[in-house]
Amino acid sequence: MRCDDCLAQLDALHDSELMPVEETALRAHLSDCPDCARAYDILARTSHLLQEGLVHYSAPDVLKARIHGALMRERDAEPPVRAVAPWNRWSRLAAAGLAVALASSAATFAAMRQSTAARSAADQVLASHVRSLMPNHLIDVASNDQHNVKPWFNGRVDLSPQVPALDSSGFVLAGGRLDYLAGRPVAVVVYTRRQHVINVYSWPEAGSDTPEVTTTAQGYHLMRWSKGGVAYWVVSDLNAGELSQFVTLYQGRGLEQR
């Protein structure tokens, strides 16, 4: 048996698709030919790896078809008498197998990210707010001074959040923190009113300006608006009237700061 014929049947051997007489001949060649034996070993190990370790998710059928088509074209493009060593050919196919596995995982990962992003921003903001109320989660930089809090965000998030001083109106700056919403870091400025915490989230978001919208969920008030390419969310268990007053002040003083 020639090496080319052997290599052409390795897939079938591995998948137990050969007739007994073919399998016997092939195994006889493998036991005599280190190159082909090595190619078979790579095939078997790669297959094992793919089954055991790498592929936990299935790729969309379109992606599978595209990769399969690309592999077939590569195979067809091989000259009948190969100048390429069997080792090279099989290592390329093994690499292609890994590419399939990685592409599958990447496609699934992208899909998971999309479904995460699809969760409403309100849910995520609210979950973040509740999380922030746990001990030691509220504040990364504690300061009543806006000149300490605002610069702290530099280089940590891709916008410089408004940090107006509102203590004369009874809203005391407590500090700021970095939080993660929809898989990216966002700026959170924290104020307090009596025993109530007010979290102000902001992040860059393309789109036109939108007026304030107030919603209530799980006993918290959420107010959101967009201005100048920035999305704002304010969450608190403060009563709606005082929270609305806070937002008015935050927006007004925020503009003066620019």
Q: How far is the CB of 35 from Zn ion (least distance, A)?
A: 5
Rounded Cα–Cα distance for residues 32 and 191 (Å): 77
Residue 188 as a binder of Zn ion (CB under 5 A): the answer is no
Residue 10 as a binder of Zn ion (CB under 5 A): the answer is no
Q: How far apart are the first and last CA of the chain?
A: 80
Q: How far is the CB of 31 from Zn ion (least distance, A)?
A: 10
Q: How far is the CB of 43 from Zn ion (least distance, A)?
A: 13
220 DSSP assignment:
E
Rounded Cα–Cα distance for residues 119 and 16 (Å): 46
Residue 33 as a binder of Zn ion (CB under 5 A): the answer is yes
Residue 165 as a binder of Zn ion (CB under 5 A): the answer is no
Q: How far is the CB of 10 from Zn ion (least distance, A)?
A: 10
Q: What angle do CA 133, 146, 240 make, to 5 degrees?
A: 50
Whose Cβ is closer to Zn ion: residue 4's or residue 242's? 4
Point out which span in 5-13, 128-136, 165-173, 207-215 binds Zn ion (CB under 5 A): 5-13
Residue 13 as a binder of Zn ion (CB under 5 A): the answer is no
Q: Are 114 and 63 within 8 A, CB to CB?
A: no
Q: How far is the CB of 85 from Zn ion (least distance, A)?
A: 11
Contact partners, residue 16, CB within 8 Å, separation at least 6: none
The tokens for 8 are: 């052409």
Point out which span in 1-9, 74-82, 161-169, 243-251 binds Zn ion (CB under 5 A): 1-9
Whose Cβ is closer to Zn ion: residue 29's or residue 150's? 29
CA 43 from centre of chain? 31
Residue 3 as a binder of Zn ion (CB under 5 A): the answer is yes
Rounded Cα–Cα distance for residues 27 and 13 (Å): 9
Scan residues 35-54 and list those touching Zn ion (CB under 5 A): 36
Q: What are phi and psi of 137, to 5 degrees?
A: -110, -10
The tokens for 54 are: 């790498």
Q: How far is the CB of 71 from Zn ion (least distance, A)?
A: 22
Q: What are phi and psi of 250, to 5 degrees?
A: -60, -45
- Number of residues this chain uses to bind Zn ion (CB under 5 A): 4
Could you tell me the CA-to-CA distances from 86 to 14, 43, 102, 185, 257 in Å, in that order? Answer: 17, 12, 24, 49, 69
Residue 25 as a binder of Zn ion (CB under 5 A): the answer is no
Whose Cβ is closer to Zn ion: residue 36's or residue 200's? 36
Whose Cβ is closer to Zn ion: residue 22's or residue 140's? 22
Whose Cβ is closer to Zn ion: residue 33's or residue 125's? 33
Rounded Cα–Cα distance for residues 58 and 104 (Å): 6
- Give the interface with Zn ion as residue ranges (CB under 5 A): 3, 6, 33, 36
